[in-house]
Amino acid sequence: DTAVSQTPKYLVTQMGNDKSIKCEQNLGHDTMYWYKQDSKKFLKIMFSYNNKELIINETVPNRFSPKSPDKAHLNLHINSLELGDSAVYFCASSQGLAAQFFGPGTRLTVL
């Protein structure tokens, strides 16, 4: 199936831990994104990479660090997790400025 995939789907961890979420797309797109969706369903862009180059970097704590090893992968590493980081994180991809297609999400719960 051609799609955007994320792992893990669920992540439960303690405050202060470091965790990573992985994203892969096999759509052949050149641009990938990370979004955060809070408990009120509000969806906000965090980062975007185009051909492994960071092009959108919103006001996000520097505990969040995206890494793009190649244009089909965009991972999100979070250091020193806080309660407020609990949310659903979505990866998306697009070909340039075209429509973005989203992955299934990773529900992060910080205890």
Residues that bind another protein (CB under 8 A): 4, 31, 33, 39-45, 48, 55-56, 90, 92, 94, 96-105
C-beta of 12 vs 55, nearer to another protein: 55
Q: How far is the CB of 34 from another protein (least distance, A)?
A: 12
C-beta of 70 vs 99, nearer to another protein: 99
Q: How far apart are CA 41 and CA 79, in angstroms?
A: 24
C-beta of 75 vs 100, nearer to another protein: 100
Nearest to 56, CA basis, from 68, 38, 40, 72: 68
User: What is the amino acid identity at position 106?
Assistant: T
Q: How far is the CB of 103 from another protein (least distance, A)?
A: 5
Task: Break the chain down into helix, strand, coil percent, rounded to 5.
Answer: 5, 55, 40
